A = this chain, B = another copy of it.
Amino acid sequence: MIAQLLSAHSDTLQQAVSANQSRLYYSHWQESPSKKFYGETAATDGEQAFKQSLNTAFNRFVQAGTTAQIGEEESPYGFTLGVTYPFVPTEVLISQAHSAGQAWKRLSAQERAVVLIESLEQASKHFFEIAYATMHTTGQGFAMAFQAAGPHAFDRALEAIAVGYYAQTATVAETTWTKTIGGGEVHVKKSFRVVPKGIGLVIGCSTFPTWNTMPGLLASLVTGNPVIVKPHPKSVLPIAIVISAMQRTFSAYGLDPHLVQIAMDSSAEPRTLELAEHPAIALIDFTGGAFGNTIEAIAHKHGIAVFTEKAGVNAVILESVTNLDAVLDNLAFTVSLYSGQMCTTSQNFFVSRDGVLENGTRIPYDEVARRFAEKIRGLALNPKMGAGVCGAIQSTVTAERLQRAQSLGLPVVCASEPIAQPGFENARSYSPLVLQANTDQQDVYEQEWFGPISFMIPTENFEQSVALLVRSLQRKGALTTLVYTIDSAQRSHAEDAILFEGKTAIAFNYVGNIFVNQSAAFSDFHGAGANPAGNASFADLGFVVNRFNVIGTREVLA
């Protein structure tokens, strides 16, 4: 039966491999939730499926060993989901994963890849349900929830499959080696087998329950490792839909569904450490905040591979532009989108005290700040757009952080206000706050202020902006930096310093419909893997090669 999948999905696999290599635009799933692509009833079917799940026990898993049903999800739009999921004890999860891995690791890399593509195709039939589930666990607006949790997450998953397949097939699987020794020929038949590391643990986050979980999940699976997914207890449903669809696909193809299992916990009784410390865990993927340092320390202690995305502080430098209005439109969207709850959202804006050069004309700092605030409020508080772009605040902790920022006593560049979310009167939704910080207030702005909180930092000049940014990158790391300069010498200086000293990705002069907090599968590496914001990158070779070894068999032929 897997043979059918080889013919069905080999083209997809090859296209994904090629896209990873060329970094050209590629997307396997349509990012638009249009009826044209998904059919007339897909949206309403998905919404209905979501609503039918509410206040029920989620019963689609093919996973043994359940001892209880637990769940604690609350929509940031103001209601309780009431969904419960199976709790399976850790030793049972480990034992089931180990058993499931036995046949899986003996498949070829290509067989694993096409089975996984099929599992994604099956799960993708639930895109609209996943979108509603994501909206009401993360607080994302519907359009973003659809894109980020559906097609974009699945493209990242396919990317991980493709990179993993590429790495496993970088050398031939079999050959006959011939050498002339002392006049005669010696022939040695050699084969090279992929041997996976063991059981993978993927620890999810609350804001991107599929997008940040699926790359590690698929990277471990394609390289032969069974996986246990420990979602954030407040954001389970989106990944539960994915995992259960994958389990059903495995079963349908005669494979053990426990290749991927869900490991539930609760805020009151977390089990991340219990799982991470388990000696059978051979790989850990983690997305979240500073707790990632603890996870890295555990992995280092055990000598196992760990892939993290942690806290970071993203920044923008504004120096010279051709169209300040277009720039500020772009930046206003960047800080508003999902209320700054993306790991890629810009937090700090370094702007020369002298202001910004627009085609040789200097726009004073105060005017830049004022116009930036106008743009943000014009978008976030726009009744037609603000609610959908900003969405809601996932966590009460983030809402409290916003309060704390407001009480710092810093000059307010752009005040935050509640945003009305039509139909959800109890939604936790606020427009972005921008404060002004002095260059020496690094104890404030070099912290990650996750959520709709940013800082404008007036600097002496461009060189100081670059120096302060590089200092921050070296100490705290980042996922994105964005520099506006139309001066080629300054551009080169910033690029060199940020890439080689700050070890962070850099974007220049973003305007229009493309934003620094978006990263495209198959083209943009997400995370440098080289600074304190995380050691992993979606999906470079390092993201896959540490999940397996290649071990050889040799035989002298007569």
Contacts and interface: CB of A to CB of B under 8 A. Distances in A.
Contact of A525 (B301, B511, B552, B556): B552
A253 interface: no
A463 to B, nearest CB: 19
A489 interface: no
Interface stretch (A37-45, A164-172, A266-274): A164-172
A346 interface: no
Contacts of A303: 296, 300, 535
Interface string A501-519: 0011111111111100000
A171 B24 CA distance: 11
A545 B545 CA distance: 8
A20 interface: yes
Nearest to A496: B106
A195 B551 contact: no
A541 B170 contact: yes
Nearest to A504: B551
Nearest to A296: B303
A529 interface: yes
Interface stretch (A62-70, A83-91, A177-185): A177-185
B25 A177 contact: yes
Among A177, A181, A186, A525, find the residue whose CB has the most chain B CB atoms closer than 10 A: A177
B505 A553 contact: yes
A328 to B, nearest CB: 15
A179 B25 contact: yes
Contacts of A186: 512-514
Contacts of A167: 541
A520 B530 CA distance: 34
Interface in A1-41: 20-25
A499 B175 contact: no
Contacts of A549: 503, 528-530, 537, 540, 542
A173 B236 CA distance: 38
Interface of A: 20-25, 105-106, 166-167, 170-172, 175, 177-179, 181-182, 184, 186, 188, 190, 192-193, 195, 197, 296, 300-301, 303, 495-496, 499-500, 503-514, 520, 523-525, 528-530, 535, 537, 540-542, 545-546, 549-556
